[in-house]
Amino acid sequence: MNLQTTNPQPKNARAHAPLDRGWAGVVLRMLRRHTLLRHTLLAVVAVVALAYLTGAVSPYRDLQIAHMAYIVCAAAGLTVLTGLGGQISLGHGAFMAIGAYTTALVLNHWAWPLAAVLLAAVTVTAVAGFIVGVAAARLHGPYLAGATLALAVGLPGLVSYEPVTGLLGGQNGLSVSPSPPPLALGETFPLERWQAWISCLCAVIVMWLLANLTHSRLGRSLPATRDDEIAAALSGIRVARVRIITSVVAAACAGLGGGLLAVVTTLAAPGAFPLTLSLQLVAAVVLGGLGSLAGAVWGSVVLVLVPNWASDPDASAHLPHNVASNLPALIFGTVLIVVTLLFPRGMQGGFRWVGRQVKRRLTERTG
């Protein structure tokens, strides 16, 4: 992240330094006024926290964190598209597939540095998102859902198409061999932690960019086009253009997620992008709280952790095989239903509710 900004904070802060309250007030006001400063600060905090976290846990957990982080990339894009823009996409897994295959192809053929490879994956998926977005801008509700569903079902099947099986590896997919952790980190630095670092850094960048975007004019135009297309157009919003931009952004995020998936699992294969992936992404976004970026994180964490608990051999050993194998889906589904019933605005909505309750209790006690 290149986030070098001229930071006027120290000068102003010193002017108000005598009063602690005033100093804090200035910082708060500054943060409130400067989106860049606020989001960058949050991003830095997130990076530091994640660096500690990945260092403190086992390589197995690191791998899980890496999985969560690339799901976060895709889910965050989707929550902007669906939650804020009101456009349903049941085909987000297809964009992840495009990102993954682009990563695999570029890495295997040209051996670019990883950042450039991922950027290529983002670019290619953004173009795909543009094409889909142009078509989707004319579709609504169930038709849009149907079209994107077809994309999710059809695209992974393309790899079995005879002329491209040589290039894309058919059902076996393409293996990816990302660069090992740099030697500067030490010889024994676990690969999983390195993968988690890459994945998390990308997720933080995605969140940073999307947070910026949703706090801008687009963050207002999007819900406007979702809530009332005609009123939005009459207010001067180019509805189709806004929808296409959102589609490009969401696809680019999914492409990055897919690229990271290929890097973390060292494989780009059609089996990694079933229809259930697309549906799980939608479920994660709903679970976390539609339209909330933080919600995309909670949803992704649950999406990765719950099946993991459920497939724990100790817990499912005494169950019949066909029950045990469906347990992850069952538990995830149950969590989804329970959360949606309790908190229609998802987990983020639930957290906010709890926060408000706590705040009220506190003010009642003091007042």
Partner 1 sequence: MTSPPALLELRDVTVRFGGLVALDGVSFDVPQGRVTGVIGPNGAGKTTVFNVICGFVRPDEGRLRWRGEPLTRHRPHDLTRLGIARTLQGLGLFPGLTVVQNVMVGAERHARAGFLSALFALPRSDRDEAALRDRAMRLLTELGVAEVAGRFPGELPYGVQKRVALARALVAEPDLVLLDEPAAGLSAGEIDELAALIRGLRDEVSVVLVEHHMDLVMEVCDDVVVLDFGRLIARGSPDDVRDDPLVVAAYLGDEVDDSAADELTEGGTETHDQPSHGGGVGSEARRA
Query: Does 230 engage in binding with partner 1 (CB under 8 A)?
Result: yes
Rank residues 11 and 318 by Cβ distance to partner 1 and give the closer one.
11
The minimum distance between CB 292 and partner 1, in angstroms, equals: 12
Query: Does 238 engage in binding with partner 1 (CB under 8 A)?
Result: yes
Query: For residue 204, what are its two tokens?
Result: 């933080």
The minimum distance between CB 320 and partner 1, in angstroms, equals: 46
Query: Does 204 engage in binding with partner 1 (CB under 8 A)?
Result: no
Angle between the N-to-C axes of helices 275-288 and 346-366, in degrees from 0 to 180, rounded to the nearest 10 = 10
* Binding-site member from 216, 276, 325, 334 for partner 1 (CB under 8 A): 216
The minimum distance between CB 291 and partner 1, in angstroms, equals: 8
Angle between the N-to-C axes of helices 141-157 and 92-110, in degrees from 0 to 180, rounded to the nearest 10 = 30
H or E stretch covering 107: helix 92-110
The span from the CA of 178 to the CA of 241, in Å, is: 37
* 55 in Cβ contact with 193 (< 8 Å): yes
If we measure between CA atoms, which residue out of 294, 274, 278 comes closest to residue 349? 294
The span from the CA of 97 to the CA of 325, in Å, is: 25
Query: Does 137 engage in binding with partner 1 (CB under 8 A)?
Result: no
Query: Does 215 engage in binding with partner 1 (CB under 8 A)?
Result: yes
The minimum distance between CB 118 and partner 1, in angstroms, equals: 17
Count of residues touching partner 1 (by CB under 8 A) = 30
The minimum distance between CB 44 and partner 1, in angstroms, equals: 14
Cα Dmax for the chain:
75
Rank residues 223 and 274 by Cβ distance to partner 1 and give the closer one.
223
Query: Does 223 engage in binding with partner 1 (CB under 8 A)?
Result: yes
Rank residues 61 and 215 by Cβ distance to partner 1 and give the closer one.
215
Residue 23 neighbours by CB under 8 Å, 6+ apart: 13, 16, 17
If we measure between CA atoms, which residue out of 364, 89, 114 comes closest to residue 254? 89
Query: Does 227 engage in binding with partner 1 (CB under 8 A)?
Result: yes
The minimum distance between CB 181 and partner 1, in angstroms, equals: 29
* Binding-site member from 56, 183, 184, 234 for partner 1 (CB under 8 A): 234
* Binding-site member from 44, 239, 275, 305 for partner 1 (CB under 8 A): 239
Residues 12-71 that bind partner 1 (CB under 8 A): 33-36, 39
Rank residues 195 and 225 by Cβ distance to partner 1 and give the closer one.
225
- What DSSP designation does 290 have? T
Residues 306-345 that bind partner 1 (CB under 8 A): none
Residue 30, Ramachandran bin (φ over 0: left; ψ between -120 and 50: alpha; else beta): alpha
Query: Does 359 engage in binding with partner 1 (CB under 8 A)?
Result: no
* Binding-site member from 59, 220, 279, 305 for partner 1 (CB under 8 A): 220
Rank residues 75 and 218 by Cβ distance to partner 1 and give the closer one.
218
- What DSSP designation does 182 have? P
Query: For residue 334, what are its two tokens?
Result: 């149950």
Residues in the chain: 367
Query: Does 233 engage in binding with partner 1 (CB under 8 A)?
Result: yes
* Binding-site member from 160, 235, 276, 357 for partner 1 (CB under 8 A): 235
Query: For residue 67, what are its two tokens?
Result: 């999985």
If we measure between CA atoms, which residue out of 116, 260, 252, 253 comes closest to residue 196? 260
Query: Does 245 engage in binding with partner 1 (CB under 8 A)?
Result: yes
* Binding-site member from 68, 128, 155, 213 for partner 1 (CB under 8 A): 213
Which range of residues in 114-122, 178-186, 232-240, 304-312 is near partner 1 by CB under 8 A?
A: 232-240
- What DSSP designation does 179 have? P
- Cα-based angle 107, 112, 114 (whole degrees, multiple of 5): 80
If we measure between CA atoms, which residue out of 71, 115, 117, 116 comes closest to residue 96? 71
The minimum distance between CB 100 and partner 1, in angstroms, equals: 24
CB atoms within 10 A of CB 77: 33
- Contact residues for partner 1, defined by CB under 8 A: 33-36, 39, 209, 212-213, 215-218, 220-221, 223-224, 226-228, 230-239, 245
